[in-house]
């Protein structure tokens, strides 16, 4: 079970290490048909696999890409990571994984580690897209996903938040909801692009310009204030039916909890829609109408555009692009 080195198989095949190296790298033109066959056999017999770290040292390119995710616990994120791994595998890249647990400080540490880890490229799903650490990154070897900075200086692949919500709300309106009865529920916007874009889509579709229809929740605590706000809205007793749109699945959970506490039921007493499509949204009754995003492909997309940049030696200094991937509206019974 000893580790074989390039020397061993060179000796066994009675050639130089250089020839072996050439074989390993597909430079078959630099050897006779005969030795090529001999090496092929030798390597298969001995089950030899070249050391990637030695190769990394020599070439200064270890074919690994570093990934920093905001929160691996988020179902969206884990699906993205799944896509990243899949695409990396197909391209022969290894992925070293890093998780910020939604903490900007940890995110800084992670990016620093990754930078010094001598990875070939970086994929970043940022906690805070405006984090100063990202200014130290080079667009030639990194791509960002999901959340974007106000000034895009790194290629960013994001879902089409604005249009998706705008269209979804448009559908609700067609179903009879009036602008003034529609509300957008979200975690504090905090300059997070996904939240802001979705909210922007809401405002655009409803024509509401102030923030009177923006309701905030926290993901911790009892959220009594939130419940009271919902109650107040429901009590207003307008002609039309109230419609709530939640910024993501967890926010929806809070809304459902509140509705339950207040004794309201959808879609009879109120209409509901949400960003994000989680498995339980299809099961609970009635199903939640929502916006589905193809997170797996977002991950695949990210590594493809990254590796493309990595391998295009000449064309350096790419100009940062914002790539928006489409979403899909799932109409179920919640409004």
Partner DNA sequence: CTGTTAGCGCATTCAG
Partner DNA sequence: CTGAATGCGCTAACAG
- Return the number of the residue (40 or 260) whose C-beta is nearest DNA: 40
| Least separation in angstroms between CB 125 and DNA | 29
The entry of a second copy, DNA, none near residue 73 (CB within 5 to 8 angstroms by kind) is: a second copy
* Closest CB 67 distance from a second copy, rounded Å: 8
Closer by beta carbon to DNA, 3 or else 237: 3
Nearest to 227 by CA among 217, 219, 236: 217
SS3 content of the chain, % helix, strand, coil (to 5): 45, 15, 35
Least distance to a second copy from the beta carbon of 40, Å? Answer: 18
Angle CA 156–160–166, to nearest 5: 150
Which of 86, 218, 224, 269 binds a second copy (CB under 8 A)? It is 86
Residue 14 interface partner, choices DNA, a second copy, none, CB cut-off 5-8 Å depending on type: DNA
- To the nearest whole angstrom, how small is the minimum distance from the Cβ of residue 2 to DNA? 9
Residue 7 within binding range of DNA, rule CB under 7 A: yes
Q: 157 pairs with which residues across the strands?
A: 145, 323
Tell me the residue ranges of DSSP E strands in 178-311: 182-186, 214-216, 243-246, 271-275, 289-293
How many Å apart are CA 161 and CA 38, to the nearest integer?
A: 57
Instruction: Pick one of a second copy, DNA, none as the site partner of residue 113 (Cβ within 5 to 8 A by kind).
Output: a second copy
Helix 17-24 vs helix 33-46: angle between axes, to the nearest 10 degrees?
Answer: 80
Q: Are 95 and 85 in contact (CB under 8 A)?
A: yes
Give, as ranges, the residues between 187 and 226 that touch a second copy (CB under 8 A): none
Please report, in angstroms and rounded to a whole number, the separation of the first and last CA atoms in the chain. 64
Interacting residues with a second copy between 268 and 327 (CB under 8 A):
278-280, 283-285
Q: Is-contact 148 156, C-beta < 8 A?
A: yes
Q: How far apart are CA 110 and CA 116, in angstroms?
A: 10
What are the DSSP E strand ranges found in 91-206? Answer: 94-99, 121-124, 142-145, 156-159, 182-186
Out of 5, 21, 82, 167, name the contact with a second copy by CB under 8 A.
Answer: 82
Q: Per the omega criterion (within 30 degrees of 0), is the bond before 267 cis? A: yes
Give the number of residues in contact with a second copy, rule: CB under 8 A: 44
Give yes or no for a contact between 100 and 127, defined as CB atoms under 8 angstroms apart. Answer: yes
Site string for DNA, 18-57 (x = CB under 7 A): xxxxx-xx---xxxxxxxx-------------xx--xx-x
Contacting residues for 104 by C-beta, under 8 A, at least 6 apart? 127, 128, 131
**Total interface residues for DNA by CB under 7 A:** 31
Residues 251-270 that bind a second copy (CB under 8 A): 253, 256-257, 260
Q: Which is nearer to DNA, 39 or 111 (by Cβ)?
A: 39
The binder of a second copy chosen from 57, 135, 188, 224 (CB under 8 A)? 57
Q: Is residue 98 part of the contact set for a second copy (CB under 8 A)? A: yes
For residue 283, the partner it binds in DNA, a second copy, none, with Cβ less than 5 to 8 A by kind, is a second copy
Helix (H, G, I), strand (E, B) or coil at 68: strand
Please give the residues from 57 up to 76 whose contact with DNA meets the rule CB under 7 A.
57-60
Q: Give the footprint of DNA on this chain (CB under 7 A).
A: 3, 5-7, 14-22, 24-25, 29-36, 50-51, 54-55, 57-60
Q: Give the footprint of a second copy on this chain (CB under 8 A).
A: 49, 51-54, 56-57, 62, 64, 67, 72-73, 75, 77-79, 81-82, 85-86, 89, 94-99, 101, 109, 113, 116-118, 250, 253, 256-257, 260, 278-280, 283-285
């Amino acid at each position: 079970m000893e580790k074989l080195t390039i020397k061993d198989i060179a000796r066994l095949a009675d050639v130089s290490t250089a020839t072996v190296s050439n074989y390993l790298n597909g430079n078959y033109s630099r050897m006779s048909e005969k030795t090529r066959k001999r090496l092929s056999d030798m390597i298969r017999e001995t089950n030899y696999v070249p050391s990637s770290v030695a190769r990394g040292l020599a070439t200064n390119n270890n074919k690994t890409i570093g990934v920093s995710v905001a929160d691996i616990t988020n179902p969206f994120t884990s699906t993205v990571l799944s896509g990243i791994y899949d695409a990396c595998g197909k391209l022969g890249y290894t992925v070293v994984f890093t998780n910020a647990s939604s903490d900007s400080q940890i995110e800084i540490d992670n990016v620093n580690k990754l930078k010094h880890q001598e990875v070939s490229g970086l994929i970043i799903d940022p906690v805070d897209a405006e984090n100063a650490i990202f200014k130290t990154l080079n667009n030639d070897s990194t791509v960002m996903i999901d959340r974007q900075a106000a000034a895009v200086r790194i290629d960013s692949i994001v879902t089409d938040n604005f249009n998706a919500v705008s269209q979804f709300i448009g559908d609700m309106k067609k179903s009879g909801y009036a602008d003034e009865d529609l509300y957008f529920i979200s975690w504090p916007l905090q300059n997070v692009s996904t939240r802001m874009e979705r909210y922007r889509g809401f405002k655009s579709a409803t024509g509401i310009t102030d923030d009177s229809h923006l309701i905030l929740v926290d993901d911790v605590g009892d959220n009594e204030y939130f419940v009271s706000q919902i109650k107040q809205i429901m009590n207003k007793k307008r002609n039309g039916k109230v419609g709530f749109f939640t910024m993501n699945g967890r926010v929806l959970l809070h809304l459902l909890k509140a509705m339950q506490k207040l004794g309201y039921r959808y879609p009879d007493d109120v209409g509901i829609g949400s960003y994000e499509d989680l498995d339980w949204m299809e099961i609970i009754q009635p199903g939640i109408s929502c916006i589905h995003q193809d997170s797996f492909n977002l991950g695949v997309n990210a590594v493809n555009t990254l590796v493309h940049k990595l391998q295009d030696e000449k064309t350096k200094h790419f100009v940062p692009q914002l790539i928006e991937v489409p979403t899909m509206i799932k109409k179920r019974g919640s409004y």
